Structure 1
């Protein structure tokens, strides 16, 4: 049976086109990168774009070639035109959700937070919602509401041009030397090219993946596959993308983390979808040994060691230490695991109002 997702695409075109032109050095909006990104996610069966098309003549031809249905929103005064487009698009999306049960995914292309209630309603109707917007013109409220959010700027095929300064004109005629001086004064300094978005912290990535795998393993008895892990990461952060960390595919990211002993990979139920788990040995044993050693050193000079401040002592001995990379949600949970493994003794002290650790006996 064909399990391919059926996708309905709705574009708030004015929001996208103006956002792209304002923040991409005046470059026109290109629909092709969005079409390519959606082709990787399923079969697009509905494509609709909403705007007053008298303002977007060239864009209209480009969208028509891509088989996008153009919904005309006639010119009205002020904000009423924008509201009319929003209302029409929202009504059409909800109507389609009821009338076309086979459509499983709705793609809402806009950065306008006014569409957040629409996203909530579609998800309430058991529809997957993907948002698409220009990063600098997208409301912070919209991405967390979606199942997945794609920033147009980061899609393959989108070239962001730096905004350049424009040459000013002299206010009046002058002597040649004076005119040259005036022109030089009025030339706006050329802005440096927009800096590329910094690559996200690799350590934070390791922590995120390890904690997510640990949570999935603890919440169910089923195996944690790569596809399930990716879906969960997107639920935590709809803007998550392995490309932000420099990886071409999610599988490549997992193989990198496996090489760092953050996770282990095994053959999964389907080809290309490996099972992901936390290492049973390796870094965890090293971390337990570090804890045992530090507690023994501190206990030898002053008795039981309080939990408060102990993590800093471990980091002095090993600066890269992080219990979160091992899948633990807190340092206390890590210490409890070490106590269960008989590496240290851990007990609550009412007098100290803290947990106290001592080296294991024997």
Structure 2
């Protein structure tokens, strides 16, 4: 397979400072072992095929720092310069970008100028990978698209919709941390439906068909999809996720491929329409209020019913109280725990909450660990802060509606 000629421009300060607020251990691994995740990124989360890195540039403020995440280290600051040799040894050209003002360095301007210069090179770069969550990069992506170049954004923070919508692919913090740790990257964008409808792995698919048929035939009532998927993962092993449910691109699509007699689906249940009535709707909260709907698209807010937010907070609180924090493990553990309770929430939605909680001031790695109410309040604070930053005007009453929908107590109440 032909390699895609790729250029990577990394705003180290932006990416590292966002990562360390979410998962300090893996953020440091990202900075100390760039060669490892770069090698994995060569063949993972691609647009047109495996990459051949022709440009590798890391833009770093040599005097930059973050508060040291380990109180036992005896150091108050963790300086970025500590990681400079790691990137040099991994083949990056490190561009020093000292701070020009109290809060701003020139990394974004240097990245833009270098990327535009690369467009004029004799070599044609097929893909530009921009590792930054700074929405100031939006005009650059527009320029690259006009030149018909593929673009990938690596953004561990919640970047603006105007920024991410221009790119061909977005790599979020959960995917980046999975790359750093060498775990299989679970990306919804990678799910592909097999055009022929044939299963990718016959033996496992046959077991899947037999188990589902038995459960469906014996069920006294509608089956909860989240619980059923959790049980099947436990019985069939990791192959179901590695094959994206046998090549069908999702659990429900795999179920539909079985063509079970009289089968009916809803958002949360599957049932035999000849034996069971439709399940009752899970909850009576009705549609989301208008202020919540106004925030959903610009902020990427998961469209969960009101009653599903508190279980997410409780699951994350339970994880934080009983585990040494790891973001990828936390989202997987919480998803499986919720599935056991019959609550169907995707890992991406849980990761969104976890990320928002960290930026809202109650990271799950904090000691003592935050409880469910603290997680809810921090997440709602982050949502409303992001709305304000995006110039989405909300009245006090509308802010209270958003907090109520998200299951957080209004601090003014």
- Scaled by the length of structure 2, the TM-score of the pair is 0.41
- Scaled by the length of structure 1, the TM-score of the pair is 0.46
More strand by share: 1
Higher relative contact order (Cα pairs below 8 Å, separated by 6+ residues): 2
Structure of higher CA gyration radius: 1
